[in-house]
Amino acid sequence: MRDRRIQAAHALLPNAWQQAPKEARAFAPVNIALAKYWGKRDEALHLPVTDSFSVSLALGTTTTIAKGEAHDDFWLNGGKIDPATPFYKRMQEFLDLVRPHHSFTFSVHTENNVPTEAGLASSASGFAALTLALNSFFGWNLSSKNLSLLSRLGSGSACRSIAPGFMLWHKGEKEDGSDSYAEPFPEKWEELTCGIFYVSTKKKEIDSRTAMKRSQETSPYYPLWPDVVAKDLFDITEGIKTKNFSQFGQAIEQNALAMHALMHTAAPPFSYYTSDTISTMKHIWQARNEGVEIYFTMDAGPNIKAFFLKKDICDIISIFKSISLVELTF
């Protein structure tokens, strides 16, 4: 598994490169999946079963890289990461893919302005920011496509955080993953607005990788998932092209509910819903029934991301006191 990942990474890098004299810094946005990535055709290379589609927020991760001293040192929001933690190990495994030689060490400082490991895509923005910082640090001058391919080796959905706006991740067909990358979707939607309901900012009890694997391997409804995504992705992109908010909203909400249904029907079943998650969903449905058009999506966590149009902001903030408005990047 490790050798395949190293081979995939090295295929993307230039033959000659050298470290920057001091440090490099980069920012990558959080991306919110609208048509979900849920299931892998290749675990080692993080190759997905289906295409997926996302939009980026102004929130995200800033990463600073410098040469380390005796060993790798990783810092998150000002706190030093324990080498025994899964977070440290994932970072180190990714850096092993591009380490110039075995004795080369890194000092990495990461700042998230979203909660970490709470289902708000901090892993995606984190590995994308790390990839972008490495690109500057070593002067690789990689294309957007190759940056997306490389970041995918750290976290699958990181490939959608390399650029702002709507991003389409092609699942690809090749075994080496060289055609599985995300690229910007050409449409913009300035009227589209997002808000987050922070139901819980605690670390998830079940991480996304475990949740995805169990859903794929044990839910009897998983074989239906690829067709669900294909239909929803078509409706989402058509809704964006034609600015049909109802078509767009219904598709993103149904796609999220279908993904969570796979978890609820896994063996053993599990759920990221809390009582507050359910009450927020019901509140959104009630508002919609009363004529305020608002739809939601959820990733692998209890927090809800809602979408609506700018013309309805006043109604939204009046109805939903706990919503936090966030800026979309186009």
pLDDT in tens, 250-290: 999 999 999 999 999 999 999 999 999 999 999 999 999 99
- In this predicted structure, the answer to whether residue 121 has a pLDDT above a threshold of 80 is no
**Helix (H) or strand (E) segment spanning residue 41:** strand 40-42
Mean pLDDT of 45-61: 96
Mean pLDDT of 4-22: 87
Q: In the structure encoding, which two tokens stand for residue 16, read together?
A: 């000659």
**Helix (H) or strand (E) segment spanning residue 62:** strand 52-67
Q: What is the DSSP letter of 85?
A: S
- In this predicted structure, the answer to whether residue 152 has a pLDDT above a threshold of 80 is yes
pTM of the model: 0.94
Burial of 80 (0-12, 13-18, 19+ CB in 10 A): exposed
Phi-psi sector, 2: left (phi>0), alpha (psi -120 to 50), beta: alpha
Residues in the chain, total: 330
Q: In the structure encoding, which two tokens stand for residue 147, read together?
A: 């940056």
Q: What's residue 118's pLDDT?
A: 47
Q: Are 180 and 169 in contact (CB under 8 A)?
A: yes
What confidence category does residue 203 fall into, taking pLDDT thresholds of 50, 70 and 90?
confident
Q: What's residue 36's pLDDT?
A: 98
Who's near 85: CB < 8 A, 6+ residues apart?
Answer: none
Whole-number average pLDDT of the chain: 94
Q: What's residue 120's pLDDT?
A: 60
Q: What's residue 17's pLDDT?
A: 83
Q: What's residue 150's pLDDT?
A: 98
Q: Are 64 and 109 in contact (CB under 8 A)?
A: yes
> For residue range 301-326, what is the model confidence (pLDDT) as tens digits?
999 999 999 999 999 999 999 999 99
| Bond before 220 cis per omega within 30 degrees | no
- What percentage of the chain reaches a pLDDT higher than 70? 98
Q: What's residue 113's pLDDT?
A: 85
What are the structural domains of the chain? 2-184 (3.30.230.10), 192-326 (3.30.70.890)
Residue 213 half-sphere exposure toward CB, CA atoms < 13 A: 9
